[in-house]
Amino acid sequence: MIVQLSKKPKNPIIIEGFPGFGLVGNISTEFLIDHLHAEQIGSIKMEESSPMIAIHDGKVIHPIGIFYDKASNIVIVHVIANAQGIEWKMAEVIAKLATDLQAKEVICLEGVVGAEDDFVRSFYFTNQKNSEKKFESIKIDKLREGIIVGVTGALLLEKDLPVSSIFVETHSAMPDSKAAAKIIEVLDKYLGLDVDYKPLLKQAEEFERRLKSLIAQKNAVADEQEKKRLSYIS
C-alpha cells in the first residue's frame, strides 16, 4: 500500500468513509468533497484488491482518493475499493497519515444495520473525552452496546490516535442516500460546517442513483467475467 500526497496539510481533521452498509461512507464523503469543492491531493495505491476505477463526470475516481478543503482544514479519504481482508493494513495506513499530518481527529462515517422504520437513528463513539462532550452537547446518543468491524473497528484500537465515529442506521447493502444525508447532518453540527441542507438530500439522491447504475454495470461486468472464465481461458 503506497500513499501519494502532493500537499501535506497541518493539523487537519481527517474524515474517512469506507464502503459499508448503504454505502453511506461513499455517498457522504462524496457529497462533502462536492460541497466543499475539496481538491484531490493524493491517493492510496492498494494492490491487494483487483484494479477498479470509476469514471465520474469524465474524470477518474481513484480506488482510494485523498481530498483537501483548505478553508475548513479537512482531509477526506474517499474509498470505492474493497478493503475486505486488509482492514488492519488499511487502518495502519490511515493512522500513519494522521500521525504524519498531526491530525486533530479521525472521524469515521459508518452505516450500521438498523430496524426497518422511517426514523433514521444515529450514534457516536469516540475515544476522546473532548469529543464525547461535543457529541453530547449536540444531543447525539453514544453507542453503548454493539459490535464494530472493519477499518473503523481497527482504528478504535489504535492507542494514541484520537478517533470518533458517527454511525447511522440503514437497512440494506444498497446505496441509501437518506442515511447519508443524516450522517452529514450530524457531522455538520459536530464540526460546525454550516452546510446548506436544502440541496443535500436531493444531491445525495443523485449520488444514490448514479451508484446504483454503477453497481448494475459492475455486476454485469462480474457476470460476464465469470462467463468468460468459464468459456475461454483458465
Q: Considering only 8-16, 33-41, 56-64, 96-104, which stretch makes contact with a copy of itself by CB under 8 A?
A: 56-64
Q: Considering only 7-15, 87-95, 99-107, 182-190, which stretch makes contact with a copy of itself by CB under 8 A?
A: 87-95
C-alpha cell at 143: 453507542
- With both helix axes pointing from N to C terminus, report the angle between 24-35 and 177-191 in degrees, rounded to the nearest 10: 50
What is the closest distance, in whole angstroms, from the C-beta atom of residue 199 to a copy of itself in the complex? 20
What is the closest distance, in whole angstroms, from the C-beta atom of residue 71 to a copy of itself in the complex? 27
Binding a copy of itself (rule: CB under 8 A), the pick from 9, 17, 25, 150 is: 150
Radius of gyration for the chain, computed over Cα atoms and rounded to the nearest angstrom? 18
Does position 17 bind a copy of itself by CB under 8 A?
A: no
Cα distance between residue 228 and residue 26, in whole Å: 30
Q: Which residue, 37 or 227, is less far from a copy of itself as judged by CB?
A: 227
Q: Which residue, 47 or 196, is less far from a copy of itself as judged by CB?
A: 47
- The conformation of residue 49, written as its DSSP 8-state character, comes to S
Residues 143 and 190: beta-carbon distance below 8 Å: no
C-alpha cell at 50: 483487483
156-to-55, 133, 144 alpha-carbon distances in Å: 32, 18, 15
Does position 39 bind a copy of itself by CB under 8 A?
A: no
Does position 138 bind a copy of itself by CB under 8 A?
A: no
C-alpha cell at 218: 459492475
Sign of the dihedral defined by the CA atoms of residues 31, 98, 86, 123, in that order: negative
Residues forming contacts to a copy of itself in the complex (CB under 8 A) are: 4, 19-21, 23, 43, 45, 47, 49-58, 60, 62-63, 80-82, 84-85, 87-88, 91, 113, 125, 127, 142-151, 153-154, 156-157, 159, 172-174, 210, 213-215, 217-222, 224-225, 227-229, 231-234
